[in-house]
Amino acid sequence: MNGDTNGGSNKIPLWVAALSIGGLLLLAVVFAMNLLGDGPKGEPIAKLLPAYSDNATVRKVRKEMTFDGAPCQSCHDGVDPIQGDPKGKGVFHEAIKIQHGRNQHCFNCHNRKQPADFANFDGSPIKLADVQMLCAKCHGTTYRDWNDGVHGKRTGFWDVSKGGPKPTVCIACHDPHWPIFKPLTAAPAPHVNPRGPAKSAHRAGAEEHGGHE
C-alpha cells in the first residue's frame, strides 16, 4: 500500500482511473434516480369490518312476552291453568324446537296460569325482568358464578365506586329453547407484522416466502 516506496510510480493506469471514477459517477446516477428501487411491497391488508369488534350480545333480549307480536293475553285469559301439550294445539307453539337437554317439558319453565310469566317451583310467577331466577332453578352453580361476575359478559366499570359492572341477562346469550352457545364466524387470522401473506390459505410452506426478497 506504500506506492511511494515501491519505486516511485505515481502514475495511475488509465483503466484503473476510468474504472474508479466511472464507477463512482455511475453510482451517483443510480442513487439520484433510485434505480435500485424500493423493494417489494407487502400483501394488501383488508379493511376491518365493524362486525369484527361488534360489542352487542349475540341475542337481542325481548322487552315483553309476545308470540308473533301478539300478547299472551290475546289467547289466554289468565284465569284457568293451561292444560295439555302446547304442541298439539294447532299452528301456535308447534314450531318451537326444544333442545334443552333433559328439560323437554314446556311447563317446567312457563307459567300455566300467567303465560306472560315463568313458573317457580311452587307455581308462583317469575317475571321476564327476573328471568335469571328461572334459569337458577336448575343451573344453581352457574347462577352463583353469574352473580359473582365469573360467568357471562359484563360491561361498564370494574370499579364499584364508579358505577360498577353491568351484568348481561342469561337470555342475551342463550336461546332458552336451544341454550347452547352457537358457533360464531371467526374474525380474520393475523398477518405477520410488518409484512407477509396472511397465515390462512396455506399451512406448511407458505411462510418460506414470508420475508420476501
Site for another protein in 155-174 (CB under 8 A): 155-159, 161-163, 165, 168, 173
**What is the rounded distance in angstroms from the CA atom of residue 73 to the CA atom of residue 116?**
8
How many angstroms separate the CA atoms of 45 and 191, rounded?
Answer: 8
| Residues of span 5-44 touching another protein by CB under 8 A | 5-6, 8-17, 19-21, 23-25, 27-32, 34, 36, 38-39, 42, 44
C-alpha cell at 131: 328471568
Write down the least CB distance from residue 109 to another protein, Å. 22
Please, which of residues 72-111 interact with another protein by CB under 8 A?
A: none
Site string for another protein, 184-213 (x = CB under 8 A): xxxxxxxxxxxxx-xxx--xxx-xxxxxxx
CA distance 145 to 142: 5
Measured from the CB atom, the residue of 130 and 207 that comes closer to another protein is 207
Cα angle 155-161-162, degrees, rounded to a multiple of 5: 50
Return the residues of window 42-61 that contact another protein according to CB under 8 A. Answer: 42, 44-45, 47-48, 52-55, 57-58
Q: How near is the Cβ of 98 to another protein at its closest, in Å? A: 23
Place of cell 295439555: 84
Residue the block writes with cell 409484512? 195
Give which of 118, 83, 89, 88 is closest to 103, Cα–Cα. Answer: 118
- Closer to another protein by Cβ: residue 43 or 85: 43
Q: Which is nearer to another protein, 72 or 169 (CB)?
A: 169
Size of the site for another protein (CB under 8 A): 89
Residues in the chain: 213
